[in-house]
Structure 1
Amino acid sequence: MANGPFMLVLKADNPGAFIRYATDNPRHKVNIHWDRMIDDDQTWLVNPADGSLAYSLSFKLPEILKSWVFETSEDTRKRAFQAKQEFLSIITIYRLVEGKDQLFKLEFDAESTR
């Protein structure tokens, strides 16, 4: 879950790699960005902020956020940064393994984005 009013479905490029990294680093900083080559800017990517290529997660930006972020081309970067800070600054992942809860917190690294 994101720290806003949204529930995101995160898809890992390599689920095993993500689980290994997150198990070793249950709370870590991430970069969040979009790639215009993927689709109409609705698919955003999450990667570790440590520069490693340990994993990549993707999610679809909720339509209401997409409309606001990309409303005008002049303010897109500013609005995207605001959305990350306000709604995506902490993404919490809950996982149940053999009857035990695992909790991972992915924290948006605003400093590496500036």
Structure 2
Amino acid sequence: MAQTVRTLHAPVKALFSGTTLLIARNSLLGVILPLRMEAAGYPVALTGVVMAVYYMGLAFGGLYTKRVILRIGHIRAFSAFAALMAAVCLAYGFLSFQPHGSCCG
């Protein structure tokens, strides 16, 4: 019985590990982004709107994901979405979080 559980757990171990890392990093992004916006001097209301839209996109993305998984498969969909999320997180590093009116005042 122990051998059967071990053999059943092995194929999904990588998927569980990847999902855990994805959720942990997404949570950290939800903390870092508003802190960087606040440090740059953006209004609190704008930071709230940005974060609300971020999580609305996450919710609506969950509705669209089912079609993508059925079309290309769960492994390719997971890889594509993880790569997309990594690219977006890296793009935050290239953005300057400076309000538009701060350079001339």
Q: TM-score, normalised by structure 1?
A: 0.26
- Higher-helix-fraction structure: 2
Q: TM-score, normalised by structure 2?
A: 0.27
- Higher-strand-fraction structure: 1
